[in-house]
Structure formats: structure tokens, C-alpha cells
């Protein structure tokens, strides 16, 4: 590519800068689940990919209608959006890239070498933002890429992105040699890999004229197997106390970044403090979030406050990574969403069930699903997709795994729960499949959800049969149409609510003497899920 010397002095504008970040965002979203899978540092909670993707998406959301062509002004807007919209430790460290952009790209146009300088500033900014920075992380990728400033003589932007992407992957491979927790867990650093993914997405846009929506393999060192986390490590992290992940912004005048960083780091762990004299974003892990929030309130005006229980998040992640089946008896892999639903499934089957959690921000990719399946020790696996679209899109995975995989046509959460109830650990996989399919024949499933026209829709077995102004009216009509005298009606609610009030409403003026059970599900899409037996 050395023949592109003629392009070395080509000036680039805001449009190119936006394309680079848009491509990086697409790649992060595409590979988000992979990045989450290997997230063990600084806290093994499985959200690095999500946090990095959401941080970039906050930029795209804020600037989607922007026509800003002045590269320097656009860089400033990107940094402001990234800072306020940053999620978690990894998202806030990623904002140091955008702060470096504001330091490197100042004018209406920028040269490709200005883009290269971003990494020098990003490295310096990150070291200043973190009280005790560690090697083998995103910061190491920044610093290793920054070293390319003195060796790249070709100033074409495509060439620079290609060199940076290659360097980033090389650094990711070496991260376990720099950080003991990565060696112990048998993975590379998730944040470093996420940054490499972002650069590869940008390269796809600029060089290949793609959109950045590409699948990137996790670069693993010779001694590591993809996704095969050390089981002793997974057990060990569940014993540790992680506290609360506390994130918030402080707005004010003449804010002293160093002083605030020193104050916060005395209270919490995994601290990152970044920003400027008028706005600062803080991420830290503390036993008592109130203390650090109070400190922030004494300094300035608080916004963008987010608090998460890290102990719960870490245990959930470890359980989902851990091999749950200890022998070759049949195993169940069940898709689920909603904390109540997931809790119920685990209560029904504690020994043979692996939950694959999803939410509205997660797109279930085939490759990720295959990797998840390969982690289960049992050879015989029963897959419950529990969603019509997932069921239709994942039929091909049978040919992509070495496991003896059977897919049950459970197209709703309710039907999936019914299948789990029938599972018998000591029965053969064929017998369990027979029992599950029989259970699907014996229940009726229904759901209530809100349409884009603000009407509430009721479906029975996927077919729309009623709509009305409130979800409770729709729920009552669905029960009227499906229940009989001896029916057992189970209702899963989206929110925690007065179950007695719902029961009284749906049974009022109803002749059928059916049994009703109402359970909090927490599902993200449906106001109510029903199963009628």
C-alpha cells in the first residue's frame, strides 16, 4: 500500500470522522456478546461489550441529524456525547479516545496523521483518569498504537487504520502476559479487544467501503482456548464482594479533576474520573453508594446517576459462563428475559439448566449461540428458543455444532417454562424431548403487548384476537377465550404489581371456576404472558 504516497496530504472533514466512528460502533454492536463473554477485568460482570457499544451509540444518537462538517467542532461534540453517555469503566476509558480527538483534531479539516495522534493523547488521558492504571488493558492498546507515530511513513488514512488495527490485535493477544487475572481466567482482555474491534470496523468503512457490521474473531494466545474460562476462576469470583458500581456526572465551574479523582479513589475501587473544568464523569465501585454520591453533590450538580449491584451481576455472569452439567445426562439451554422469569426457571431446575439471557439491546447472533452451546459439557443438549423469531433463525445451528442438539419448538417464554417442568434428569434425551413436545400440545399460550398505535394487543398462540385501551382489559378477554372450568391459568407480569387486584378483575363476571396463579416475570416486551393448562 506504499503506492498511496500521493494521498499523504489529503485533508479529511467531519463526514469522514463520523464514518470512522459509525463503523466502529457497528462493529462493537455486532461483536458485543463476544466481548461480554471474556469480560473478567476489572470486575467479571460480563458487560464490557455492552458498555462500549452503548457509549458509541450515545454519540450516534446525539449526532444522527448533525450536518457538522467542521472536523474540530464535530470532535468536540463527539467527546461531549461520549462523556455524558459513557457506560461503566470501559465506556469511560473509551471516552479518553474522544478527548484525544479534541486535542488532535482542532481545525475544519484534518490530516490522517492527526488521527494517529489521538492515541498518544488517549494514552495520556487514561493514565491521568485512573488512580492505579494496569497494563494489559485498553490503555495498553492506546499506548502501543501511539508508538506507531514514529514508524508510519505512509499517511493515507486507510493504511493508518490498517496498521492500527493490526497493532491492536497483536496487543490483545499479549494481554494475558501482562495481567495475572487474565491468565487465571484463560482469556484476553475484553476492553482491549473491544477497542481493536472498533478500529477494525472503522477500517471496514474507510478501506472496504463496508458498514463496519463484521464478525471479528477473538484473538487468543497459543495457550488459550476460545471462551473456555477456567472453572476454578468462575467459582472463586463468586466468593468475592464487589459492592455497587456507581456512575454519575458532576457539572460545575472550575472543577479540579485531580483533586476529585484523589477524593473518589480513597472511597472506591476501579475508579475512573474523566472530564474537564465544567463537567466530570465518575465511575467507581463502593460498598455504600450514598457516600460517593454525597461527595459529588457537595462538589456540583449531579446527573446521569447509575447504580448497579455488582455482586448480583458478577454471580449471574459467572453462573452463565460456568459449565452447569457435570456428566453426560441431557442438558437444557433456555433463552430467557426478565429477572423473575430467570429466577423461576432456575428454581424449577438447578442442575441441568443453562440460561441464555437476552434483553431488548441484545441481538442473538448464530456464532455467539454456537459458542455458548459448545461451553456446555453435556453432549446431549435440548435447546428452548422460547421466541418465534429465535426459533426460526436458529434452526441451522444443528449443523454448526458437534453436540447432539435438539431444538424444541417453544415459541414463547410460557411454553419454555412448561417444557422445563417436564424435564427428568434420569431419563434419556429422547424421552425428555417426547415429554416436552407433549407439554406443548397440552397448553395454550397467550400474551399482551402495547402496539405502536398505543393500543394493547392480545394474541393466542401468536394470532391477534383482541385489542383494547388497557392491558388488563385485553388480559381478561384472553382468559375468557381460553379458560374452562378446570383450567390452570398462569400469568407472568412485566412489573411487580397487586396480584389480588388483577385476579379480582380478570375473574369478575366470569362463570368459569378456574385456578389462577400470578407470578412476577419482569419480561421486557410483554405486559402479560399467559399459559393455560
Cα radius of gyration rounded to whole Å, the chain: 26
Predicted confidence (pLDDT) at residue 306 exceeds the cutoff of 90: no
Instruction: Identify whether the C-beta of residue 58 lies closer than 8 Å to the C-beta of residue 81.
Output: yes
DSSP string, 208-276: T---S----PPP--TT--TT---HHHHHHHTTS---EEEEEEEE-SS--HHHHHHHHHHH-EEEEEEE-
Predicted confidence (pLDDT) at residue 10 exceeds the cutoff of 70: yes
Say what the pTM is: 0.55
Instruction: Identify whether the C-beta of residue 409 lies closer than 8 Å to the C-beta of residue 391.
Output: yes
Could you give the CA distance from residue 139 to residue 130 in angstroms, rounded to a whole number?
Answer: 10
CA-nearest of 118, 211, 196 to 163 is: 196
Q: Which residue has the higher pLDDT, 56 or 236?
A: 56
DSSP string, 105-133: --SSSB-HHHHHHHHHHHHHHHHHH-SS-
Q: How confident is the model at residue 138 (pLDDT cuts 50, 70, 90)?
A: very high
In this prediction, residue 530 carries a pLDDT of 93
**What digits encode the pLDDT tens for the residues 170-183?**
999 999 888 888 88
Return the C-alpha cell found at 341: 422469569
Average pLDDT, integer, range 496-513: 80
Instruction: Identify whether the C-beta of residue 317 lies closer than 8 Å to the C-beta of residue 46.
Output: yes
**What digits encode the pLDDT tens for the residues 318-360?**
565 544 334 457 889 999 988 899 999 988 987 789 888 887 6
In this prediction, residue 240 carries a pLDDT of 54
**Coil, strand or helix: which one is 134?**
coil
CA-nearest of 57, 77, 58, 55 to 67 is: 77
Instruction: Identify whether the C-beta of residue 492 lies closer than 8 Å to the C-beta of residue 337.
Output: no
Q: Lowest-pLDDT range, 14-18, 44-48, 139-143?
A: 44-48
Long-range pairs of 35-38 with CB within 8 A, sequence gap ≥ 24: 35/190, 35/193, 35/194, 35/197, 36/190, 37/227, 37/321, 37/368, 37/371, 38/185, 38/187, 38/188, 38/189, 38/190, 38/193, 38/218, 38/227, 38/229
User: What is the percent of the chain where pLDDT is above 70?
Assistant: 88
Q: How confident is the model at residue 118 (pLDDT cuts 50, 70, 90)?
A: very high
Instruction: Identify whether the C-beta of residue 141 lies closer than 8 Å to the C-beta of residue 132.
Output: no
Give, in degrees to the nearest 5, the angle at Cα 118 between 115 and 122.
160
Q: Lowest-pLDDT range, 6-10, 287-291, 515-519?
A: 6-10
Helices (H), 322-443: 339-348, 366-374, 388-393, 413-422, 429-442
Q: Which residue has the higher pLDDT, 185 or 107?
A: 107
In this prediction, residue 323 carries a pLDDT of 43
Could you give the CA distance from residue 157 to residue 105 in angstroms, rounded to a whole number?
Answer: 14
Domains of the chain, first to last = 2-237 (1.25.40.340), 244-310 (3.30.70), 323-442 (3.40.50.510), 444-532 (no CATH)
Question: Taking phi first (over 0 means left), then psi (-120 to 50 degrees means alpha), and beta for anything else, what does residue 326 get?
Answer: alpha
Enumerate the β-bridge partners of residue 274: 281
Q: Environment class of residue 249 by beta-carbon count within 10 Å: exposed (0-12), middle (13-18) or buried (19+)?
A: buried
CA-nearest of 369, 349, 350 to 358 is: 369
Average pLDDT, integer, range 490-507: 88
Q: How confident is the model at residue 483 (pLDDT cuts 50, 70, 90)?
A: confident
Average pLDDT, the chain: 84
**What digits encode the pLDDT tens for the residues 399-429?**
888 888 999 999 999 999 999 999 988 788 8
Return the C-alpha cell found at 344: 423461576
Predicted confidence (pLDDT) at residue 260 exceeds the cutoff of 50: yes
Average pLDDT, integer, range 230-256: 71
Q: How confident is the model at residue 313 (pLDDT cuts 50, 70, 90)?
A: low
CA-nearest of 185, 116, 190 to 147 is: 116
In this prediction, residue 223 carries a pLDDT of 41
Predicted confidence (pLDDT) at residue 292 exceeds the cutoff of 80: yes
DSSP string, 271-332: EEEEE-SSEEEEEEEES-HHHHHHHHHHHSEEEEEEEEEHHHHHHHHHHHHS----SSS-EE
In this prediction, residue 139 carries a pLDDT of 93
Amino acid at each position: 500500500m506504499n503506492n498511496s504516497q500521493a494521498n499523504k496530504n489529503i485533508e479529511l472533514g467531519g463526514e469522514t470522522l463520523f464514518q470512522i466512528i459509525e463503523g466502529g460502533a457497528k462493529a462493537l454492536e455486532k461483536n458485543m456478546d463476544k466481548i461480554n463473554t471474556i469480560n473478567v477485568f476489572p470486575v467479571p460482570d460480563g458487560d464490557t461489550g455492552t458498555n462500549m457499544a452503548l457509549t458509541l451509540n450515545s454519540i450516534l444518537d446525539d449526532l444522527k441529524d448533525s450536518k457538522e462538517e467542521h472536523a474540530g467542532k464535530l470532535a468536540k461534540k463527539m467527546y461531549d456525547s461520549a462523556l455524558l453517555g459513557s457506560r461503566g469503566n470501559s465506556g469511560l476509558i473509551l471516552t479518553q479516545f474522544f478527548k484525544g480527538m479534541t486535542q488532535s483534531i482542532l481545525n475544519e479539516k484534518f490530516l490522517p496523521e492527526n488521527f494517529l495522534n489521538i492515541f498518544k493523547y488517549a494514552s495520556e488521558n487514561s493514565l491521568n483518569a485512573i488512580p492505579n492504571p494496569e497494563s494489559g488493558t485498553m490503555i495498553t492498546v492506546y499506548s502501543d498504537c501511539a508508538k506507531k507515530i514514529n514508524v508510519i511513513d505512509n499517511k493515507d488514512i486507510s493504511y493508518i487504520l490498517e496498521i492500527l488495527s493490526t497493532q491492536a490485535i497483536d496487543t490483545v493477544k499479549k494481554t494475558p502476559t501482562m495481567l495475572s487475572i487474565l491468565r487465571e481466567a484463560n482469556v484476553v482482555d475484553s476492553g482491549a479487544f473491544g477497542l481493536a474491534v472498533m478500529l477494525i470496523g472503522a477500517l471496514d468503512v474507510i478501506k472496504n467501503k463496508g458498514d463496519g457490521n463484521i464478525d471479528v474473531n477473538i484473538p487468543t494466545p497459543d495457550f488459550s482456548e476460545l471462551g473456555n474460562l477456567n472453572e476454578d476462576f468462575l467459582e472463586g469470583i463468586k466468593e468475592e464482594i464487589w459492592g455497587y458500581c456507581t456512575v454519575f456526572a458532576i457539572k460545575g465551574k472550575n472543577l479540579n479533576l485531580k483533586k476529585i479523582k484523589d477524593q473518589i479513589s480513597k472511597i472506591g475501587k476501579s475508579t475512573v474520573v474523566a472530564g474537564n473544568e465544567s463537567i466530570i464523569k465518575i465511575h467507581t465501585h463502593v460498598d455504600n453508594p450514598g457516600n460517593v454520591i454525597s461527595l459529588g453533590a457537595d462538589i456540583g450538580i449531579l446527573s446521569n446517576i447509575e447504580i448497579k449491584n455488582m455482586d448480583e451481576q458478577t454471580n449471574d455472569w459467572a453462573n452463565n459462563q460456568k459449565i452447569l452439567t457435570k456428566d453426560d445426562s441431557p442438558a437444557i439451554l433456555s433463552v430467557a428475559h426478565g429477572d423473575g422469569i430467570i429466577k423461576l426457571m432456575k428454581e424449577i431446575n438447578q442442575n441441568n439448566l443453562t440460561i441464555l439471557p437476552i434483553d431488548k439491546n441484545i441481538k442473538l447472533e448464530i456464532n455467539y449461540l454456537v459458542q455458548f452451546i459448545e461451553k456446555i459439557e453435556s453432549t446431549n443438549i435440548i435447546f428452548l428458543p422460547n421466541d418465534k423469531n429465535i426459533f426460526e433463525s436458529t434452526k441451522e445451528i444443528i449443523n454448526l455444532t458437534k453436540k447432539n442438539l435438539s431444538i424444541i419448538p417453544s415459541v414463547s417464554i410460557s411454553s419454555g417454562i412448561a417444557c422445563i417442568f417436564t424435564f427428568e434428569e434420569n431419563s434419556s434425551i429422547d424421552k425428555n424431548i417426547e415429554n416436552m413436545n407433549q407439554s406443548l400440545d397440552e397448553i395454550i399460550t397467550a400474551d399482551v403487548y402495547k402496539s405502536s398505535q398505543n393500543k394493547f394487543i392480545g394474541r393466542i398462540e401468536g394470532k391477534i384476537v383482541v385489542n383494547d385501551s388497557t392491558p388488563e382489559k385485553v388480559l381478561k378477554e384472553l382468559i375468557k377465550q381460553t379458560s374452562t372450568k378446570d383450567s390452570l391459568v398462569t400469568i407472568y407480569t412485566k412489573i411487580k404489581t397487586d396480584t389480588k387486584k388483577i385476579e379480582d378483575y380478570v375473574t369478575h363476571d366470569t362463570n368459569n371456576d378456574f385456578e389462577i396463579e400470578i407470578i412476577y416475570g419482569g419480561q421486557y416486551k410483554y405486559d402479560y404472558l399467559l399459559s393455560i393448562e
